[in-house]
Amino acid sequence: MQYLNNDRKLGLSGLMRVKNDAETLAQSIDSCIDALDELIITYHECTDGSVQIIENKKLQYPNKILVIPYPYHVIGVGATQEEYEYAKTLPIGHPQLLATYYNNALQYVNYKYVMKIDADQIYFSEDLKELRDSIVNGVHQNRLARLCGKVVNVFCQKRGNKRIWSKWHLVHWLQYIVVPLFRKQYMDYAVSELLKGNGYLSLSGVNVLRYNDEWYTVFGCKWEGGISWPYNGTGDHLVFESNEQTEYLPWNYTNGSGKQVMIERFVYPIGKSFFLTGFYWFHLKTMKEPYYSQFLSYFRKHSDALLPVDSLRKISFNRLLGYLKNYEDLHFFYRRIYYSFVHNLDKKAISSNNIRWLD
């Protein structure tokens, strides 16, 4: 987008879109605000008190929060079939498209790097701040450290793994050994590639649900979005540079349950790739209805699929995959590569220090 062609200050902007997120909104903002140089909040069609929470947080953080009301009805994930058919007829840039809603917020960024912030995610504040600081201050690697980072990167590139590795178990065990061993070198390498304009960072989170006064990760349950994994955001929650090539376009997407929806797709300039990084939030969408009831109904019948959040960092990815062995649609090669990479890279981030944000 041409209006992003101007020079911007070095820093990290957050983009938050809100529609009836009052349950988690304040906690989400509090958990991420210290790690951001600014937070741009845009909202539409809120009827649950979200707007008042946004205004209160703007007063609390006057130098960091910019609020942009959006006056249009947006056709997004929860659209009816009739709305979906209508959205397919709309031209790019129409104000009712979800991609246009995103682009409208994007034009207000004041800093060079941007990340999406979701109002139903509770962020690991210190980890996110550490990432922001490495982006602003830069990283310094010698040749050996950079080589180690490149080696680790092989294990999260879909095409590279398909070409090099023929068996999943070989990929998994090499990941299990190499990825955590050279975590720091890889993270520095990924940030350096972002700063050089060679790619984007992809951040991940953990899906969680509260059941019988304890927090669990959720997987194996069939729901509106398909079949759940413990992981959230892997591959689509990006940290990227704001420039004239940065934009979202409409995407006609079929979700895991077979439903077609019109959502947004971030445009990757040719020649650039994304770099998977670690865990930076807990995702609480499953605490909202109707999802919460669907998950509870499943867990009452499949108690062996319940895994306390703190236990996720203690088990191997292969053991986790064993819980899901009956679900063939989860065994796409690239999904196993992505999820196992993030699990091996950063499962220690799921610590008691970060779990405290849930209570």
Provide the pLDDT for residue 69.
Answer: 97
pLDDT at 165 over 70: no
Give the C-alpha separation, 80 to 101, whole Å: 18
Look at residue 74 and tell me whether its pLDDT is greater than 60.
yes
At 328 the pLDDT is 47
Whether residue 158 is predicted with pLDDT greater than 70 in this model: the reply is: no
pLDDT band at residue 163 under the 50/70/90 scheme: low
Higher pLDDT, 212 or 89: 89
Write out the two tokens for 222: 């069939």
Q: Residue range 53-61: average pLDDT?
A: 98
Average pLDDT over residues 217-240: 75
Residue 154 has pLDDT above 90, yes or no: no
Domain locations in the chain? Answer: 2-358
Q: Tell me what pLDDT residue 226 has.
A: 55
Closest CA to 228 of 295, 276, 280: 295
Helix intervals (H) in the chain: 25-32, 50-60, 81-88, 98-106, 125-137, 143-153, 158-164, 168-181, 183-195, 291-301, 309-312, 317-323, 333-346, 352-355
More confident residue, 208 or 303: 208
Q: Is the pLDDT reported for residue 227 higher than 70?
A: no
**Among residues 121, 94, 95, which one has the least CA distance to residue 31?**
121
* pLDDT one-digit tens code per residue, 277-335: 999 999 998 888 878 887 788 777 777 677 888 888 888 877 777 666 544 444 456 67
Contact 237, 131 (CB under 8 A): no
**What values do phi and psi take at 357, rounded to 5?**
-65, -20
**Percent of the chain predicted with pLDDT > 90:** 49
Coil, helix or strand at residue 24? coil
- Which pLDDT tens digit goes with each residue over 15-26? 999 999 999 999
Q: Reply yes or no on whether the pLDDT at 159 is more than 70.
A: no
Local confidence band at 211 (pLDDT 50, 70, 90 cut-offs): confident
**Which residue has 């420039």 as its token pair?**
243
Least confident of 115-119, 327-331, 347-351: 327-331
Is pLDDT at 338 greater than 90 in this prediction?
Answer: no
Mean pLDDT of all residues in the chain? Answer: 85
